[in-house]
Structure 1
């Protein structure tokens, strides 16, 4: 894959800053140089916090924040092809998936603009008690303060949008640390923010050592909230280190799907085949564990496997590619090791498990032991498991048999079954007759158990990023 090499400075206090040190961004597909980004550290992060704190001394009215967010959404629309190519180049995301990500980022900004205009407190019914007689009270939603945001590589535009747009809607300035593998999308978004009229200091982007940047975000008391998307080990450690800050975590999953015998089996197979392997399975809600009622098992397998094998593996810049590379060779080796462990311990390799050049083919393993990593941990690769079950009780127990709880799905025509699954599946979200990889950016999105402790989606994130203040008036 060939692309023009891009050099970017850090974005600090409205300026592009070079540090004299450079971080190379290379394509996971062919290791070609995509760009260079100025490498920052603790000093640049402190400068970013200074700028953010200073910016918030002159609050932006809600209508101005909304107007800026709308302008960014419009700019994403006008430069959609360019944005998709940046994503595809640095993350090796297939172009068809990269284009979807750009459209979703536009939606995220649009929804955040709505929240900026409508964010409000409420009236407290003071005369409901004798003590409140003769008084009026309202609550205000006020910005929590400077937001420290840490985003992952797999959605380098839209997950950055989910940090920046709600924070700006809430009236909070941001210090963003994007993934070092994929910083160009975040810096592209910073360019759009500046062009949209965002004043200096309201958005600052620092790329570099996670430890150096993270230490400043944790230790500086002016950073009042940290929003983190990434691995559980890192996320929960951040929360332990910052007990006096609000720390919102959106972490991983080992996503289960239940397919009842009464379901539209062909539709379920089509959706699972698409959503288990999109972007090589590198989504925290990528379909990973598929449980099919025994009466429908062979029919599902017959519909599912040919669709998996028909997925096109190759260059992410090719508009027809479905599955590209994993983010690194180390990750590819890890996923292959998990597959080998599952097969060695009794699982059946139904398809895949081999390389097409340097790329791992979409892989399906039947009935691996429940304690193998592939069956209970987050694979984050182009692999899923397939297993029959007899009763719904058994299926729900299998789905819940993980430390994760982000999203799960069920395919059924029975309303009673769907509602039971919604009540008993221990996940932050449950989809019915849709793969649990589905996400609309305005919906509340977040997990339970080891999958996190917050809800994203602008309407929910904005409230996380504000505090409620009571005002009582003696009439």
Structure 2
């Protein structure tokens, strides 16, 4: 049995635990202790009381700690990658990619920890403000509650933990009950670095205790990544707290007639099916210009047929099992619903246990779940278009607005898309699945509120404080 962590101290709870399930075999291979509900508020109080220590913790020390974390992750990279294969079911290639990104995320956080600046202003904008100057700085917002999903349990935790340490915020982190061990191993790493004692807690928890992570009055910021349904419910019950929500999507890619079809097909193949399609920026809808539609479909199907589905520990495997058989059953039901309304399955569409074949569809009515909801699995829906402005308008009809990919050689079209798409990010000549860990990342509409990306998360985790100076420097 594995413990949960309050600062450097591990705690075992033999009475209550979460199973660690090998998603490929379906077997329970271990257990992770959950925090006892009666202890949770006391832990929150303990972590919250470290704020003064963290505020005083020098920025160069924060940098050193973050670099130590990155170094220890690198040292244990293969162990952590194997854990991701076990807990999530993603391929070993995708797992290693996530660990590499986590190293980058903590490294960038270290760099930004010593770059926190401020602003000096001459504030004598009118006669009544004569002799006034201001200095503006940012200070830690306070206790941050972090709720992390199952699909990228290490790097998405890094995207919350790294900025919090850089700014000087204490934090509590709740991992997904489907992937509890990832947080524990991060807890092991944090226990080996020199953060102020008890300034964080990594708390695998039962669903029944989840509301405490968003309702406790000592929490100043909730940073949630997960489904739109849960995220907006958290927002509704958050009270006076600041909330950052990174939610779902059903991302589109638009393929113009003037592009290299081989390149576009290869990138969309990756964007639709990497990490088993369990990504909020997975390519779900593909809008292809009618002049190249048939050529593109042929190339995409050819490429997708090369996918190896099977044992995610095997180096050759691209597609592993979904997080649970129930998710594969849902996808199967959605595909069948679309077929009953006239949609065509060009490739795939079949389920075997928790595995779902890489699936390409066309002629899907817009009201079908597989088109208008978030698939969160290896399915993409193709559609041809003729007018660029009209297809941008059609992309905007989605309830989601996370990222969109635009493949074009026309700079005017690129900027038209950037100016007119109602999304958080527009990716030119690549898939919407691209996320550079330093960039601002987040969405609009049902896709969320606020932005991640180290410097942007640091802004959310801090408050502006101004010092007003009157008649200083006079001799």
One fold, TM greater than 0.5? yes
Equivalent residue, structure 1, for 2:126: 129
Deviations 1:172-211 (A, max 9, x none): 0110000011121121112111212223222201112234
Alignment partner of 1:327 is 2:348: no
Corresponding residue number in structure 2 for 1:185: 182
1:23-70 deviations in Å (ceiling 9; x for gaps)? 111022211223210022433321321221122132222111111001
Q: Map residues 273-292 of structure 1 onto 2, 5 A cutoff.
A: 273-292=269-288
Using the TM superposition, give the Cα deviation of residue 110 of structure 1 relative to its aligned residue in structure 2, in angstroms.
0.8
8 Å contact from structure 2 (residues 9, 191) kept in 1: no
Aligned: 1:31 with 2:16 = no
Counterpart in the other structure of 1:256: 252
Q: How many residues get paired? A: 468
* SS of alignment partner, residue 472 of structure 1: strand
In 1, Cα distance between equivalents of 2:374 and 2:259: 26
**Match of 1:3?**
none
Paired residue secondary structure (1:118)? coil
Are residues 423 and 211 of structure 1, via their aligned partners in 2, closer, same or farther at CA, if it must alter by over 3 Å? Answer: farther
- The two structures have a TM-score, normalised by structure 1, of 0.96
Q: Gaps spanning 5+ residues in structure 1: where?
A: 1-6
Of the three residues 417, 423, 426, the one matched with 1:421 is 417
> How far apart are the structure 2 equivalents of 1:308 and 1:47?
52
Contact 1:34-1:89 within 8 A present in 2 as well: no
Q: Is the counterpart of residue 154 in structure 1 residue 148 in structure 2?
A: no
Shift of 1:356: 5.2
SS of the residue 2:191 aligns to: helix
- Indicate yes or no: 2:135 matched with 1:138: yes
CA distance in 2, matches of 1:105, 1:13: 20
Residue number in structure 2 paired with 1:77:
74
Q: Any runs of at least 4 consecutive aligned residues in structure 1 with deviations exceeding 6 A, and if so which?
A: none
Structure 1 Cα separation of the partners of residues 4 and 237 of structure 2 = 26
Match of 1:46 in 2: 41
How many Å separate the matches in 1 of 2:36 and 2:430? 43
Deviation track 1:231-262 (CA, whole Å, cap 9, x = no partner) reads 11111011110130001100000000000111
Match in the other structure for 1:401: 397
Instruction: Give SS of 1:69's match.
Output: helix
Structure-2 separation of matches of 1:292 and 1:260:
7
In 2, are the aligned partners of 1:353 and 1:362 still within 8 Å (CA)?
Answer: yes
Once residues 314 and 28 of structure 2 are traced to their aligned partners in structure 1, the CA distance between those partners, rounded to angstroms, is 18
Q: Equivalent of 2:6, from 12, 16, 31?
A: 12
Structure 2 spans left out of the alignment, 5+ residues = none
**Partner of 1:354 in structure 2?**
350
Q: Which residue does the alignment assign to 2:200?
A: 203
Counterpart in the other structure of 1:102: 99
Moved more, 166-175 or 356-365: 356-365
Match of 1:473, SS state, is strand
CA distance in 1, matches of 2:145, 2:39: 14
Return the alpha-carbon distance in structure 1 between the equivalents of residues 127 and 26 of structure 2.
Answer: 72
Name the SS of the counterpart of 1:36 in structure 2: strand
